[in-house]
Chains A and B, each alone.
Chain A
Amino acid sequence: MTDTHRPTSTDTDDAVAAAAVPASTPRVTPPRSTTRTLFTVVLPPIIMGILILGLWYFVSYQMLDERRRFLLRPPHQVLDVGFLDWGNFSDILWALWATTKVAMVGLSISIVLGLTIAVVMSQSKLFERALYPYMVTLQAIPILAIAPLIGFWFGTATTGRLIVCVIISLFPIIVNTLFGLQSAERGMHDLFTLHHANRPTRLFKLQFPAASPAIFAGLRIAAGLSVIGAIVGDFIFGRGEAGIGQALRKYANNLDGEQLLAAVIMSSVLGVTVFLVFGWIQNLAIGKWHGDRS
């Protein structure tokens, strides 16, 4: 929220003061009728949702005959069996929780590692040149291709899963942080140079704050990827505390179509939640000064 300090009469420059007042008034949303908001903002996604449900029913009942209907159960059955049956749903939730734990630990490792690597790269062109090709290579290796190697070296339980998670989510953090650290304007650097700022001062008072929007953007991407990494690792290795990856495999093997779909839906809910949570954290941290509106 913006402070609502107002200029006092000391400001002699009326033109400037007057120009500044609208900017300092918090949240002047243009007057817009609620019905219009309803039609342009709320309604379109609802209509789209109804269309999707319609298509889903159509496929389940019209395109699939009775014997093949297990391939896509109709929505209400998915709801009944996958979500409203507490036994089934709590299984999914537990698996989801196991995955979330792995994802969060993996993400934390990625953040520490990624920030460190990016800072090192930003401090020395030599390091940047030396590391960058390998970062890109790491990013380019399909995770499926190195999964066996990871399992071979680190085991297929939690450690292996964590490593998959880190490999998949590290790159966006490094790239965004590095880009951010290098994004401070020339003039700001000149200002720090003029006043004899040393490297740590420059890093913490200029480069890091300047990088924070990029870092948060990287974090959001990485957070989503860490969830994917945790699921994929679990799915490939199928060992250790059962997460949603193993659950998906089990449901698929048992032809539990309803639970499979419920698990898929809950996985995306987890992904979206993580994305939103990081967006919220970003807004808390830098929303006051970054972006168009306060």
Chain B
Amino acid sequence: MSTAAAATATESLSFEQIGMIFPDGTEAIQDVSFSIRKGEFVTVVGPSGCGKSTLLKIASGLLEPTAGRVIVDRDRLGYVFQDATLLPWRTVRGNVELLAELHGIPKAERAQLASDAISLVGLDGFEGHYPKSLSGGMRMRASLARTLTLSPPIFLFDEPFGAVDEITREHLNEETQQLFQREGFAGLFITHSISEAVFMSTRVLVMSSRPGRIIAEFDVPFGYPRSPDLRFDADFARLSGEVSHALRGSH
């Protein structure tokens, strides 16, 4: 059974022998164990349907695992969903203030937090816009800003940039990576894109197809900040190749 006990000093999030079998008998995850320390940005790549989203839902407490346990402090968990899930009836500012509102933070403080977060993701000037008039990339930024207002020590990202075009995605990767550096949170990032995984993380985990297990682990040796040109580096290409190879073996 999972517990939301406080994390130990160095480990922000630990999965201990997590298994997940849905009520309909689908075994989504099998014996997954790994942990993420403060200052680490771990990316999980894996084939579609292998249980990546399930893993994040378990981490956040939206789902109870059927085996094993999670150790994490859920009080200020940041969770960026696959789609922006902005409330269409709220402006960018209203959306960014939502979480602080739900946590009962007073109005003035909330407004300040929102302004800071909006600036951080580069959405200044768009505070009064409704989601319908934003591009996909801007919606994702607003969603990111919303999570940032809580300054969460742990960030979960579920394929947040899957729906935006390549160029926007690269921009967002870079900005997320800068945020990670500046805010110093522990990150768990899910993606399909190997280049995105290697570019942003300190560690890449490869999951097998269902039931998902961790079948390979790669340390990413590059320091931060990482320049976009890193993507053309020979070492980058070699590492991406290895991840890709492991991923192909996972099917």
| Residues of chain A whose beta carbon lies under 8 Å from any beta carbon of chain B | 2-3, 5-8, 10-13, 15-16, 19-20, 23-24, 185, 187-188, 190-197, 201, 205-206, 209-210, 212, 286, 288-292, 294
Contact = CB atoms under 8 A, between A and B. Distances in A.
B130 interface: yes
Given A2-B133, A10-B124, A194-B77, A289 B85 contact: no
B126 A13 contact: no
Interface in B69-121: 77, 79, 81-83, 85, 87-90, 98-99, 101-103, 119
A185 B133 contact: no
A19 B130 contact: no
Interface of B: 60-62, 77, 79, 81-83, 85, 87-90, 98-99, 101-103, 119, 122-135, 137-138, 141, 165, 167-168, 171-172, 175
Given A19-B135, A190-B62, A289-B132, A185 B124 contact: no
A5 B126 contact: yes
Nearest 7 interchain pairs by C-beta:
A3-B128, A195-B102, A187-B85, A289-B130, A23-B133, A16-B137, A209-B89
Q: Which of B77, B89, B122 has the most CB of A within 10 A?
A: B89
Q: Which of A5, A6, A294 has the most CB of B within 10 A?
A: A5
Nearest to A202: B102
B125 A5 contact: yes
A212 B138 CA distance: 25
A183 to B, nearest CB: 12
A6 B125 contact: yes
Contacts of A11: 122-125
Nearest to B86: A188
21 contacts: A2-B129, A2-B133, A3-B129, A5-B127, A5-B128, A6-B125, A7-B124, A8-B125, A10-B122, A10-B124, A11-B125, A16-B137, A16-B141, A16-B171, A20-B134, A23-B133, A24-B133, A191-B85, A195-B102, A201-B102, A294-B133
A190 B158 CA distance: 13
